[in-house]
Amino acid sequence: MNDPYQVLGVPETATDEEVKRAYRELARKYHPDNYHDNPLADLAQEKMKEINAAYEQITKMRSGGSHGSTSGYGGYGSGYGGASGYGGYQGSARQYGGSSSSVLQQVRIAINTGDLTRAEALLANYSDHNAEWNFLRGAVCYRRGWMDEARRYYQTACQMDPGNPEYRRALEFMENGTRTAYSPNGTPFGTDVCVGNPCLTLCCLYSLCNGGGYLLCC
């Protein structure tokens, strides 16, 4: 295993408080809530495990190997693998029970295993475009990065079955989800919530171009 201090990005001389702060920042970054249905969620999960193990190891080392002082730990790691995501299809067999047909159950499994081509083929051959079909179609779109279509399918699913919390959560995430996305130091995340002087960004790297640069530069 890697050096736990290196994993958390703090020196060995860091205080307990500094270690805890570094851990919390990383846990916020790789938290499953920040990787909802993300095609790279498995990599984030690995990171989260590594961070949890590093934090646990440091707290153990600092308490002389006893388990007594891990009170600051928890809350993040324990949530992993749980049903914290809005996408019910990624959960266990318990959630497949919500499917109205065995084909749609297979779609959920295909999405869960990352086989989007299969999920799409199954959906294309399924003639009853009910609320669940629209919800699953939205989930496939989201994973493919077709964000506008995902939102539209989720909207349709919600219109067809307004009482379904799974569909409602998915739509809510599409409409507001990025507002709670991780960003360093908690700076606002979003095009319409960003504040500041646009000139800050748009100032030309005049010095880089060294006099206007080449034809397509700037």
* Residues making contact with another protein (CB under 8 A): 29-30, 34-35, 38-40, 43-44, 47, 141, 144-149, 151, 174-175, 177-178, 181-184, 187, 189-192, 194, 196-218
Is the Cβ of residue 59 or residue 142 nearer to another protein in the bound state? 142
Q: Give min distance, CB of 69 to another protein, in A.
A: 29
> Which amino acid type is present at position 100?
S
> Do 173 and 34 contact (CB within 8 A), yes or no?
no
Minimum Å distance from CB 66 to another protein?
Answer: 33
Nearer to another protein, 61 or 218 (CB): 218
Dist CA 31 CA 181 (whole Å):
10
Residue 59 CB, nearest distance to another protein (Å)? 24
Of 45 and 63, CB closest to another protein: 45
Q: Which two tokens stand for residue 61?
A: 């080392």
Q: How far is the CB of 152 from another protein (least distance, A)?
A: 9
CB of 81 to another protein, least distance (A): 18
CB of 88 to another protein, least distance (A): 20
For residue 184, count other CB atoms closer than 10 A to its CB: 8
Tokens encoding 7: 């994993």
Q: Toward another protein, which CB reaches closer, 163 or 198?
A: 198
> How many Cα atoms within 13 Å fall on the side-chain side of residue 29?
18
The number of beta carbons lying within 10 Å of the beta carbon of residue 105 is 19
- Return d(Cα 185, Cα 171) in angstroms, integer: 27
Question: What is the residue type of 193?
Answer: V
138, with CB counted inside 10 A (0-12, 13-18, 19+), is buried
Nearer to another protein, 128 or 175 (CB): 175
Q: Which residue, among 12, 39, 30, 123, has the nearest Cα to 80 in the 3D structure?
A: 30
Which of 15/197 has CB closer to another protein? 197
Q: Name the nearest CA neighbour of 166 among 214, 67, 95, 74.
A: 95
